[in-house]
Structure 1
């Protein structure tokens, strides 16, 4: 069975979402289905069909999260000795050599990745180019728009 790397924070977020789905949203949709069913004819009852559809989404998400959690390999970055090299879970500050713009990314598992909060997947082109590098190194990354050259300014094991 293939294991999927995940940070402790990522595991906690999935467990919290699973808990809410099972203890709040699932019971609420069951009540909504029962209320809609009480209105009579189910063939033309839009509330009933909407509630059933919502129930399907919730049950699917529960199965998805349970599958991800069962196949996850939780890695606590604080347990890994600090070497100065970029590894899974490290936070990296980069400087775009061409534009002189800085950016900071945390390298996380696929399910945790969210570019809006500067978390990139271990399997992204940028992360793959960065793994194993150190502060001061220059990295060339192939991106959909061409090639970008970054200088690694800072590596943090937060």
Structure 2
């Protein structure tokens, strides 16, 4: 992997393309309308609506550039048969041994990571610990506080 490569699943790439389309077609138009309405208030030197709309416009343009760069440098992760070995793209079912809690995550590149969608990065502490492991193995993960948490791998898809 080169320094500029962004690891993405096919689904992650499609989500980025959809977000960029929304930003270009919908959000740009909405912000243009806000700017137009704010200009109707007159003097822009003390017009907070105008300033807010221009800042929003700049944020949208920055996000579009970031997404374009991510897409340009994307390396698609193929969901090939990993023979039960945890790799990027794998769905992993694990059990927190201490709390007897079962969780399932998909291992993805850092650009796609979203713990609220059960997607963890391959470079996160848990992701690193799981990479290359197989069902039945126990991994130890150091938390930010320094505690060690043990997880048992229950399944790899």
TM (norm. structure 1) is: 0.91
Could you tell me which runs of 5 or more consecutive residues in structure 1 were left unpaired when the two chains were aligned. Answer: none
- The residue number in structure 2 matching 1:151 is 152
The alpha carbon displacement at 1:42 in A equals: 1.1
Q: Which residue of 56, 67, 75 corresponds with 1:73? A: 75
TM (norm. structure 2) is: 0.92
> Which 4+ residue blocks in structure 1 deviate beyond 6 angstroms?
none
Q: Which residue of 5, 24, 27 corresponds with 1:22? A: 24
1:73-92 pair list within 5 angstroms = 73-77=75-79, 80-92=80-92
Q: 1:41 and 1:99 mapped to 2: Cα distance? A: 61
1:1-158 pair list within 5 angstroms = 2-77=4-79, 80-145=80-145, 146-156=147-157
The alpha carbon displacement at 1:8 in A equals: 0.7
The alpha carbon displacement at 1:31 in A equals: 2.3
The alpha carbon displacement at 1:14 in A equals: 0.7
| Local SS of the residue matching 1:150 | strand
Output one character per residue of 1:76-101: Cα deviation in whole Å (capped at 9) or x when no partner: 31xx2331101101111111122211
Q: 2:48 and 2:129 mapped to 1: Cα distance? A: 51
Q: 2:72 and 2:106 mapped to 1: Cα distance? A: 23
RMSD: 1.3
The alpha carbon displacement at 1:120 in A equals: 0.4
Q: 1:35 and 1:2 mapped to 2: Cα distance? A: 40
Q: 1:115 and 1:35 mapped to 2: Cα distance? A: 38
Q: 1:53 and 1:103 mapped to 2: Cα distance? A: 40
Q: 1:57 and 1:91 mapped to 2: Cα distance? A: 33
Could you tell me which runs of 5 or more consecutive residues in structure 2 were left unpaired when the two chains were aligned. Answer: none
The alpha carbon displacement at 1:69 in A equals: 1.2
| Local SS of the residue matching 1:86 | coil
After TM superposition, the structure 1 stretch with the greater mean CA deviation from structure 2, 35-44 or 49-58, is 35-44
